[in-house]
Chains A and B, each alone.
Chain A
Amino acid sequence: MIELKGTKLDYKPLQNLYKVGDLVNFQGPLLSLFSNDKDELYLYDWVESDTKYNRWLIFRITLDQLNQYLKKQLSHYCLIKTYFCEVIFSVDLDENMNYHNIMRLNVDEIPEEYLPNKDVLHDDEECPHLDKIKSHIINLESKLNNLHKKDWSVKFKIPDNMIDSIIIGQNKIVKQGQLMPI
């Protein structure tokens, strides 16, 4: 395995992630989408293996990035390089899914060998769980939409039964009724 520069951690980061599905799979996952109860999105990106471990990079992405990636507007390389958080984790998973050699890396500490070619895009045919992933996205978008509504409802003291008559789009609010700013 390539020796990584970075900070070694003695705890397992990002507990309570659950798998949504694989974005790339060939005889096992190569790039997988995970989430948590805060609806944050993370990728497990396979990078290397030896006789004991498989090494994965784990990093957070936004819903917007995921959507752009699925529409081939953002490359796999850009998902890593235009990271959402300032850290990327590297973990070595053994046969029993135990975590070893947990490292925190800055993006510039990722070895060149772990980065995909710059032009590699999403391919529906490589993605066995596309339906599951899309349905997760729809679910998240719906939750976000409801949060937006709640937010406006509180801000402008709009009664619950009127909030659906407000159309939110492109950062503009078109109202059907009297807005009452606080």
Chain B
Amino acid sequence: MMENEFKYWHYLKEFDNCPSTECKTIEIQAFRWIFDDINNPDNFKPVLLITPARINDQKFDKNEQKCCGYALSLFNTLENARNKFINISNRNKCFETQVGDNVAEITIEEHEGVATEPSTNKSNLGHFEFFEFIETNFFDKITHKEKIII
């Protein structure tokens, strides 16, 4: 893979080892929270490009954290996507104002980007970051969408 194949290379190049060399191309079904309006431009935007950013301090303390801010946040199963959404919404009932309250299923193919390993942490099970290549467009690849019922 060439570095400049990444959609957000302009940002990624500012950080060391970003995306990490441990990221791999994958071919799986993945799940992402989206808004009810399937064309909402924030549906497939990395968190650091969504405005206004949810921050309360100017500093980011980890290079890795900022690097992943230019990746898409995804889950490896519908259940994991749903559980994490419910977990956050129990604490922050208006969380849907940030990420929507639907979950979309998309098919990721090898030529579309590289992914981190899915998390094995209980509180964040199956969550992974996906760094898109330039041509990737997940708006056209939603195979299923459903509202998350809490």
Contacts and interface: CB of A to CB of B under 8 A. Distances in A.
A97 B51 CA distance: 12
Contacts of B52: 49, 51-54, 93-95
B70 to A, nearest CB: 11
Nearest to B129: A27
Nearest to B55: A28
Contacts of A76: 91
20 contacts: A28-B47, A29-B55, A30-B54, A30-B88, A44-B56, A46-B56, A46-B92, A47-B92, A48-B94, A51-B52, A54-B52, A54-B55, A56-B56, A97-B57, A113-B93, A113-B94, A114-B93, A116-B93, A125-B121, A129-B61
A135 to B, nearest CB: 14
Contacts of A44: 56
Interface string B45-72: 0010001111111110100010001000
Nearest to A18: B57
Interface residues of A, number: 36
A120 B93 contact: no
Contacts of B91: 24, 30-31, 76, 116-117, 120
A19 B57 contact: yes
Contacts of A49: 52, 54, 94, 97-98
Contacts of A30: 54, 88, 91-92
A125 B121 CA distance: 7
Contact of A32 (B47, B56, B84, B123): B56
Given A95-B51, A125-B122, A125-B123, A19 B94 contact: no
Interface in B63-116: 65, 69, 73, 84, 88, 90-94, 97-98
A52 B57 CA distance: 17
A123 B88 contact: no
Nearest to B89: A117
A37 interface: no
B124 interface: yes
Nearest to A118: B90
B97 A28 contact: no
